[in-house]
Amino acid sequence: MADIHDLYDDVTTGGSGEYVLEYKGDEHTFTVQALTRSRKNDVLASLPEGFLDPTGLPDDLDPDELAEMGDAELMQAIEDAGGDVGELMAGQMLDEQATETVIDAMVDAYEHDALGDTELENMLRSSQFPDSAFNEMLNRMIEVSTPDEEMRNFRSEG
């Protein structure tokens, strides 16, 4: 039986992970540190409705399969299945405030040996940085900041 100090250490150290960014044939590995609960909640509250749970997807499409598709292939699959691409895309667009909140959190959560915080922030702000990579990084940050299933089960047993 784990003691309370083990629980404290597990909970307070938060999650961590990595994210591999593929760019021009090269892979760049980032370390991802969990956000604090309040910071994660700020990020989640800033996202548009439907961002993490897309609306407009036809029921017969598997969201996990769609996540693997490129933008053009994704739009075609949604249209072929009778979905509403406009509705889906509206839920995927961050406004200026949400973008600022997300970028600030990403700069804190992501680390790379060759990039300082300012360089990472400039990269994320660039219109040349791929939207798909930005969204993958956002999703990975939220995933790392969310307790695993075992911890959620522990909290719900009270």
DSSP state of 115: B
Q: Are residues 58 and 42 in the same domain?
A: no
Are 42 and 109 part of one and the same domain?
yes
pLDDT confidence of 32, banded at 50, 70, 90? very high
HEC assignment per residue over 24-64:
CCEEEEEEEECCCHHHHHHHHHHCCCCCCCCCCCCCCCCHH
Same domain, 59 and 128: no
112 and 134 share one domain: yes
DSSP state of 92: T
pLDDT category at 153 given cuts 50, 70, 90 is very low
Domain range holding 23? 17-47+96-152
Q: Is residue 125 in some structural domain?
A: yes
What digits encode the pLDDT tens for the residues 107-118? 999 999 999 999
Question: Taking the model in full, what pTM does it have?
Answer: 0.69
Per-residue pLDDT tens for 53-80?
A: 655 566 666 666 666 666 677 677 777 7
